[in-house]
Amino acid sequence: MKRTLLIGYQAIAGASDGATGAMLWIAPQFTLHLMGLNAPADAAPYISWIGAFVFSVGIAYLYGAMLIALRAPAERTEIVWLLTAFTRSAVAIYVLKSILAGQLQFGWITVALFDAACVLIQAIGLRRRWLVDV
């Protein structure tokens, strides 16, 4: 059961970031529209670049799912969790700060909340050694 939940978490986080990142990379304005957000047209190259970054985070999560499925040593998946938690916490803090400063629309709060939730899950999981013996 624990193994299934961990693979599920990795797959959901990976698919979410992977798909969002790919869409931001390929069609930034359309993707923002789907998210209920907007940005100036001249920001598209920068949003695409962010999409490439988000896509890479998604791939890291899918790699973590593969590690769990293959019963790799826990330390390997723990590194994935640690590094993705660092990335997600930086994004959550930046987005929240930017919303509070009026630099980003309030709709971006979903990004900050999703990233913060993943950080919390991973921090608790690392502390309680969820990835050991899965």
Is residue 98 in a domain? yes
Is residue 41 in a domain? yes
pLDDT at position 1: 75
Is the pLDDT assigned to residue 13 strictly greater than 80? yes
Query: Domain range holding 37?
Result: 2-127
| Residue 76 burial (C-beta neighbours within 10 Å; 0-12, 13-18, 19+) | middle
Nearest by Cα to 77 from 10, 5, 1? 10
pLDDT at position 134: 83
Q: What is the pLDDT of residues 74-94, one digit of tens each?
A: 999 999 999 999 999 999 999
Q: How many domains does the chain have?
A: 1
Is residue 115 in a domain? yes
Whether 88 contacts 48, CB under 8 Å: no
| pLDDT more than 90, % of the chain | 95
Is residue 133 in a domain? no
